[in-house]
Structure 1
């Protein structure tokens, strides 16, 4: 099965922006929740660790990636990672008391997942 909608350039750009937005949300959470002097470390470390996991645990031959992978990951496990990062960013905003932003991001994340239904199907089948 080839990805149709989720693999087009516009959706890949949206996905990339959502990935960056998620990392920023985790940094905001760290800044607002972690006390000084640890917040400076957490603001850098939390997004770096999440970004590392995002880039390292990939499905071989994923059409949305270069194909390189540090750790070959089954599709359903990768889907769980993606949902944890995307919706974890929503939870991070909510926990950081940015509830209106969290609700807005939740709408965007759900809409993206609905439009990327073919990617979800691809991940579940690999």
Structure 2
């Protein structure tokens, strides 16, 4: 199920949500003059990490990568970014959206276990 178009679409929305969450967190928690910089920089840094470190041949991506990353390490990166986004929302005071994101993340990962197992085999 983790490689189905619906699952990939949900994952893409989760990725976008993570970028927005980190930007929101940066804006809400950074000191005054740094708010706009954090709003822009944190999503860019997150997107770069997400894009650069990938497992070669991952069928849920284009298969290419800049830095070949073992599947288990990639899985940890995904967990840190996606669940970190829920934490960022919670920490920024958006508790209800954080809890909704957390529930969706857990459901997504439970339904995408085939992808998780694929990552651990590569």
Partner of 2:107: 111
Within 5 A, what are the aligned runs for 1:10-21? 10-21=6-17
Query: What's 2:51 paired with?
Result: 55
SS in 1 for 2:32: coil
Which among 62, 65, 68 is matched to residue 69 of structure 1? Answer: 65
| Distance in 1 of aligned mates of 2:63 and 2:120 | 18
Provide the C-alpha distance between the structure 1 equivalents of 2:62 and 2:79, rounded to a whole number of angstroms. Answer: 21
Q: Tell me the equivalent position of 1:99.
A: 95
**TM-score of the superposed pair, with normalisation by structure 1:** 0.95
| TM-score in terms of structure 2 length | 0.98
RMSD of aligned C-alpha atoms? 0.6
Partner of 1:26: 22
From the two aligned structures, give the one with the greater helix fraction: 2
**Structure 1 counterpart SS, 2:97:** helix
- Partners of 2:70 and 2:64 in 1: CA distance: 15
Report the Cα offset of residue 84 of structure 1. 0.5
User: Structure 2: which 5+ residue stretches go unaligned?
Assistant: none
**CA shift at 1:72, angstroms?**
0.1
How big is the shift at 1:14? Answer: 0.6
Distance in 2 separating the partners of 1:68 and 1:42? 29
The gaps in structure 1 that reach 5 residues or longer are none
